[in-house]
């Protein structure tokens, strides 16, 4: 074997050793990266915090799903004295006192007219149910409904065919017939088109 052939053989052998798949290199099969492991740790912490407050979160979601009712009151304040004395309504105030709410619900507090002098006026207001909360609860109880996504796409592309003159005339005539039928049908359905 000549010196040149030996060099060629040696260079080919060297390339094979440095390229391609190397045994036992890279991450082991099934082992997760540090970034993925950190993500799993954070997810676990979040899940644990949520689980500790699951009852309270579910109650809040039920409240949103059912809608909410609030009791407000408008108190009056006395302004002036003597003949110039009058009552002015203060801003509405959310009632948070348990005994006051119970008194209103039990009918012990009169719901007076807002224009009555010196009386406190109570009124209820509601917040409509939150459909997202309802959907979320429904999905948890019965599973998420199947949803379809339209992934079709319109492809515009010019296609050229080599068609004989005879075939072109046949296609043209057929197209004109279809167009005339379509116009006649529309005119029958909507008489204003023909005018």
pTM as predicted:
0.38
Q: Which residues of the chain have pLDDT under 50?
A: 14-15, 194-195
Q: Vertex 114, ends 113 and 117: CA angle to 5°?
A: 90
* Per-residue pLDDT, 41: 94
- What integer pLDDT is reported at residue 111 of this predicted model? 61
Question: What are the extents of the domains in the chain?
Answer: 35-61+133-142, 68-127, 165-195
pLDDT of residue 35: 92
Sign of the C-alpha dihedral computed for residues 101, 103, 107 and 108 taken in this order = negative
pLDDT at 189 (0 to 100): 66
Contacts of 73 (CB under 8 A, 6+ apart): 92, 93, 95, 100, 120, 121, 122, 123
Compute the distance between CA of residue 89 and CA of residue 78 in angstroms, rounded to an integer.
9
> According to the model, what pLDDT value does residue 181 have?
78
Predicted pLDDT of residue 25: 79
Rounded CA-CA distance 128/96 in Å is: 20
Contact 125, 118 (CB under 8 A): no
């Amino acid at each position: 074997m000549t010196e040149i052939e030996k060099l060629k053989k040696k260079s080919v052998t060297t390339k094979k050793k440095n390229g391609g798949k190397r045994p036992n290199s890279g991450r082991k099969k099934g082992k997760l990266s540090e970034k993925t492991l950190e993500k799993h740790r954070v997810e676990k912490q979040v899940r644990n915090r949520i689980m500790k407050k699951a009852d309270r979160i579910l109650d809040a979601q039920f409240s949103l799903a059912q809608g909410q009712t609030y009791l407000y009151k408008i108190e009056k304040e006395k302004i002036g004295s003597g003949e110039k004395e009058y009552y002015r309504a203060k801003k509405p105030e959310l009632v948070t006192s348990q005994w006051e709410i119970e008194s209103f619900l039990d009918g012990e507090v009169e719901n007076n007219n807002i224009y009555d002098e010196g009386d406190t006026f109570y009124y209820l207001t509601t917040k409509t149910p939150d459909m997202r909360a309802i959907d979320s609860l429904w999905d948890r109880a019965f599973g998420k409904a199947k949803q379809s996504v339209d992934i079709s796409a319109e492809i515009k592309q010019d296609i050229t065919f080599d068609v004989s003159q005879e075939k072109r005339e046949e296609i043209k005539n057929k197209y004109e017939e279809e167009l005339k039928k379509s116009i006649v049908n529309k005119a029958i359905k909507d008489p204003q088109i023909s005018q």
